[in-house]
Structure 1
Amino acid sequence: MSVQQLYPKLVVTDADAAITFYRAAFGAELVERYTDGSGNVVHALLRAGSAVWAVKDGDAVDPPPAAPGPVILALYVDDPDATAAAMLAGGGTVIFEVSDQPYGERGGRLADPFGHSWMISYRSADLSPEEIQQRTAEAYP
């Protein structure tokens, strides 16, 4: 067996609105979009840089989340402050403000308007795994 690709598929209440949001907030490109006979999006693939994810309209089988769920999507960007501002402008909400983190990143966590959590980060320091572990243990005892 050989794994060829893994990407998240986000179930949302309005896939076309989500596509618009992700295009504006992340500069995502719509790669493909397919609908059922009623016009509901059953699969839309998006790409931003090397990140790939899909969205679909929720239905009885796959209802959209009511609130941010247990999965956090980690997205590394050139400017987390600008990305957070774009998410907020599109209706996102702050879970944790973007700030400098002790483990060598600048980042924060935001929820998109569709119930998904995004950790938006930028690597701000070149630290060894040992340094990251030490700083993390000290910051979060």
Structure 2
Amino acid sequence: MTNTSAQQTVTRLYARLVVPDAPRAIDFYRAALGAEEIERYTGPDGRIVHALLRLGGSVIAVKDADEGDPAPASLGGSPVIMALDVSDADAVAEAMLRGGATVVYPVADQHYGQRGGRLADPFGHLWMISQTIEDLTPEQIQARTDEAFT
């Protein structure tokens, strides 16, 4: 058996968010998260088959749902949580709420040194918004996690 993984190099990884209305989702991500659209490709029917957005130093892709790629609502929700580190979790959460997101867990100070919460965007995708409020070692975080679960 040959170990091909040592020969492979990952050149890029990004989430591809399938949504029921890609133009509206792009507008939401632009307004709520400051996303910048880098590229957009449409099919013959005008539906977005791929749009790449830059959020800070990261990128995500957005596309319209179709028979091969269902949106979260058609699956009963999304098991994936996008983790977004920001400079002001409260401000980002407020911008998302203004755009139609809903609160899953409110933004609050967390035991692991973050201020954050979880929101569902209007398209069914989950976002964990957080900002660092304390610089903790992994050992400190584990100790606090142990305390939180006892």
TM-score relative to the length of structure 1: 0.98
C-alpha separation in 1, matches of 2:31 and 2:145 = 33
C-alpha separation in 2, matches of 1:58 and 1:49 = 25
Alpha carbons 1:68, 1:117 under 8 Å: kept: no
Please report how far the alpha carbon of residue 136 of structure 1 lies from its aligned counterpart in structure 2 after TM superposition.
Answer: 1.2
Q: 1:119-138: CA deviations, max 9, x gaps?
A: 00001101000001111121
Q: 1:28-84: CA deviations, max 9, x gaps?
A: 100101000000000000011112100000001111111541110000001000000
Q: Which residue of 2 aligns with 1:123?
A: 132
Alpha carbons 1:68, 1:111 under 8 Å: kept: no
Q: Which residue of 2 aligns with 1:103?
A: 112
Q: Which residue of 2 aligns with 1:88?
A: 97
User: What stretches of structure 2 of length at least 5 have no aligned partner?
Assistant: 1-7
Are residues 1:22 and 2:29 paired?
Answer: yes
TM-score relative to the length of structure 2: 0.92
Percentage of identical aligned residues: 62
SS in 1 for 2:72: coil
The CA RMSD over aligned residues, in Å, is 0.8
SS in 1 for 2:26: helix
C-alpha separation in 2, matches of 1:133 and 1:94 = 27
User: Counterpart amino acid of 2:16?
Assistant: K
C-alpha separation in 2, matches of 1:91 and 1:73 = 17
Q: Which residue of 2 aligns with 1:137?
A: 146
Which 4+ runs in 1 deviate beyond 6 A? none
User: What stretches of structure 1 of length at least 5 have no aligned partner?
Assistant: none
Higher Rg of the two aligned structures:
2
